[in-house]
């Protein structure tokens, strides 16, 4: 959408003067404050938020829509913490659906991808006392020995804070051990909502806001990039979301180490917050559009399709999103256990390319650091690209 069309929306009858003046700031390419963000969140019509977010997205990336070919390893779902929103974790009582993979089982997962052109392994799971810093350093070393070019994106700041505390090492020492073993970057999980009115109510016992931010800051200073997330749509309000995004924006001003921001929609199945209703799709669209508008210094905005659903992810491509994460195998359980509609979160390269093309965007395969690997706009996806589908991996 062009500027002209946005001005037509702004000139429509009844548009508030506050929304008009904040929109001018956005159209000028300037940063908006938390207060200005609140005006937009509360008063701007969805169509305007979408148009502004899309304007920014197209100015940066045109029609390009990124995805990567990756797979997950979830070492365990046993967890020492007790996040109220989590449907995934099991405690240490015997349970039929609890798992704990050995090093050999995890290396076997990597082996299954021999000959398949994946570029990233994403390692994330529950927090287990036996799986300590040195266990994981050894695992990463062995993964790299098997497949040196594979990018290892591993461990949320929550997992790392626990690992480092147990090993009695500083964040810097711990991160250096993992970096030396071959860890390349960190995923963005565990951020949830930073505000002190909310965090103790939903995840009291895990890494605090300050610890989460300090671990990412240390990683960035050591040259290790990361992502960041926000769990939205539960007991937080718009102000809490803006406060959260502002802390991430401030850290990014200092380090420049975040590649991408991922709003994660709260799903309410089988957890201690099942009484909290899930928000509507229009709230999802507002949340993503505001993320694109507010986070002016984090380049990419990702819709993690296994959680938000394929069609919603497709729609979000018109509301600021430029990245759809990956083609993923069917071991990703965190969302299907929480009620996400993607019970089988596996998409082949062919599927994801078609999903993007259907809404007239340009599919571009990227690596973890957003180097472009292949442009699929005109290419017919060959058989070779289909082989990532989960069915071929069982």
List interacting residues with ligand V47 (CB under 6 A). 85-87, 156, 187-190, 192, 227, 229, 231, 262, 264, 266-267, 271, 304, 325, 334, 338
Alpha-carbon span 55 to 62, nearest angstrom: 9
Number of residues binding to ligand SF4, judged by CB under 6 A? 11
Kindly tell me which of 10 and 86 has the beta carbon lying closer to ligand V47: 86
Least distance CB 387 / ligand V47 (angstroms): 23
Give the Å distances, CA to CA, from 359 to 31, 69, 105, 281, 319.
Answer: 29, 21, 39, 18, 12
Do the beta carbons of residue 241 and residue 251 sit within 8 Å?
A: no
Alpha-carbon span 347 to 345, nearest angstrom: 7
> Of all helices (H) and strands (E), which one includes residue 177?
helix 171-181
Residues 6+ positions from 384 with CB-CB distance below 8 Å: 117
Kindly tell me which of 190 and 309 has the beta carbon lying closer to ligand SF4: 190
Binding status of residue 215 toward ligand SF4 by CB under 6 A: no
Binding status of residue 88 toward ligand SF4 by CB under 6 A: yes
Stretch that binds ligand SF4, among 76-84, 283-291, 355-363, 374-382 (CB under 6 A): 76-84
Stretch that binds ligand SF4, among 19-27, 83-91, 144-152, 314-322 (CB under 6 A): 83-91
Query: Which of the choices ligand V47, ligand SF4, none does residue 70 contact, using the CB cut-off of 5 to 8 A by kind?
Result: none
Least distance CB 133 / ligand SF4 (angstroms): 17
Least distance CB 60 / ligand V47 (angstroms): 19
Binding status of residue 158 toward ligand SF4 by CB under 6 A: yes
Binding status of residue 131 toward ligand SF4 by CB under 6 A: no
Q: CA 295: distance to chain centroid?
A: 14
Considering only 26, 127, 224, 289, the residue that binds ligand SF4 (CB under 6 A) is 127
Kindly tell me which of 86 and 242 has the beta carbon lying closer to ligand V47: 86
Alpha-carbon span 152 to 121, nearest angstrom: 5
Decide: residue 136, CB within 10 A, 0-12 exposed, 13-18 middle, 19+ buried: buried
Query: Which of the choices ligand V47, ligand SF4, none does residue 251 contact, using the CB cut-off of 5 to 8 A by kind?
Result: none
Least distance CB 26 / ligand SF4 (angstroms): 33
Binding string, 217-236, against ligand SF4, x = CB under 6 A?
--------------------
Opening angle at CA 114, ends 108 and 120, nearest 5: 85
Binding status of residue 89 toward ligand SF4 by CB under 6 A: yes
Kindly tell me which of 316 and 337 has the beta carbon lying closer to ligand SF4: 337
Query: Which of the choices ligand SF4, ligand V47, none does residue 133 contact, using the CB cut-off of 5 to 8 A by kind?
Result: none
Query: Which of the choices ligand V47, ligand SF4, none does residue 199 contact, using the CB cut-off of 5 to 8 A by kind?
Result: none
Alpha-carbon span 230 to 262, nearest angstrom: 7
Query: Which of the choices ligand SF4, ligand V47, none does residue 262 contact, using the CB cut-off of 5 to 8 A by kind?
Result: ligand V47
Binding status of residue 79 toward ligand SF4 by CB under 6 A: yes
Binding status of residue 307 toward ligand SF4 by CB under 6 A: no
Do the beta carbons of residue 260 and residue 188 sit within 8 Å?
A: yes
Kindly tell me which of 262 and 385 has the beta carbon lying closer to ligand V47: 262
Alpha-carbon span 327 to 347, nearest angstrom: 5
Least distance CB 124 / ligand SF4 (angstroms): 8
Do the beta carbons of residue 184 and residue 122 sit within 8 Å?
A: no
Considering only 19, 26, 73, 86, the residue that binds ligand SF4 (CB under 6 A) is 86
3-state class (DSSP) for residue 66: strand
Give the Å distances, CA to CA, from 27 to 30, 156, 296.
Answer: 7, 35, 12
Kindly tell me which of 86 and 328 has the beta carbon lying closer to ligand SF4: 86
Considering only 9, 38, 52, 83, the residue that binds ligand SF4 (CB under 6 A) is 83
Burial annotation 123-133 (CB, 10 A radius, 16+ → b, else e) = bbbbbbeebeb
Alpha-carbon span 334 to 320, nearest angstrom: 25
Decide: residue 17, CB within 10 A, 0-12 exposed, 13-18 middle, 19+ buried: exposed
- Which residue ranges make up the site for ligand SF4 (CB under 6 A)? 79, 81, 83, 86, 88-89, 126-127, 158, 203, 206
């Amino acid at each position: 959408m062009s500027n002209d069309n946005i001005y037509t929306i702004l000139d429509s009858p009844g548009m508030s003067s506050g929304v008009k003046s904040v929109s001018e700031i956005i159209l000028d390419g300037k940063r908006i404050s938390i207060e200005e963000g609140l005006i937009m969140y509360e008063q701007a019509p969805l169509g305007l938020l979408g148009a502004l977010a899309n304007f920014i997205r197209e100015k940066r990336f045109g029609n390009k829509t990124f995805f990567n070919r990756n797979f997950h390893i979830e070492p365990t779902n046993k967890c020492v913490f007790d996040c109220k929103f989590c449907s995934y974790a099991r405690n240490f009582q015997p349970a039929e659906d609890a798992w704990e993979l050995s090093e050999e089982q995890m290396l076997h997962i990597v082996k299954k991808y021999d000959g398949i052109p994946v570029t990233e392994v994403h390692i994330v799971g529950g927090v287990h006392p036996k799986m300590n810093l040195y266990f994981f350093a050894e695992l990463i070393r062995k993964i790299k020995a098997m497949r040196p070019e594979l990018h290892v994106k591993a461990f949320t700041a929550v997992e790392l804070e626990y690992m480092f505390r147990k090993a009695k090492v500083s964040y810097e020492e711990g991160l250096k051990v993992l970096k030396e073993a071959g860890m390349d970057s960190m995923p963005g999980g565990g951020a949830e909502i930073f505000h002190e009115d909310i965090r103790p109510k939903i995840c009291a016992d895990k890494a605090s806001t300050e610890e989460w931010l300090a671990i990412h800051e240390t990683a960035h200073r050591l040259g290790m990039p990361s992502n960041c997330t926000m769990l939205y749509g539960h007991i937080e309000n718009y102000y809490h979301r803006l406060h959260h995004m502002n802390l991430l924006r401030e850290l990014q001003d200092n380090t420049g180490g975040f590649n991408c921001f991922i709003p994660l929609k709260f799903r309410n199945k089988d957890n201690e917050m099942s009484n909290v209703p899930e928000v509507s799709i229009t709230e999802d669209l507002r949340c993503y559009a505001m993320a694109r508008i507010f986070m002016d210094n984090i380049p990419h905005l990702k819709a993690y399709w296994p959680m938000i659903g394929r069609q919603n992810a497709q729609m979000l491509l018109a509301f600021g999103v430029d990245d759809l994460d990956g083609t993923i195998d069917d071991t990703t359980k965190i969302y299907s256990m929480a009620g996400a509609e993607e019970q089988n979160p596996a998409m082949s390269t062919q599927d994801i390319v078609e999903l993007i093309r259907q809404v007239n965007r340009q599919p571009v395969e990227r690596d973890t650091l957003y180097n472009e690997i292949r442009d699929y706009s005109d290419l017919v996806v060959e058989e070779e690209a289909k082989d990532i589908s989960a069915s071929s991996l069982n």
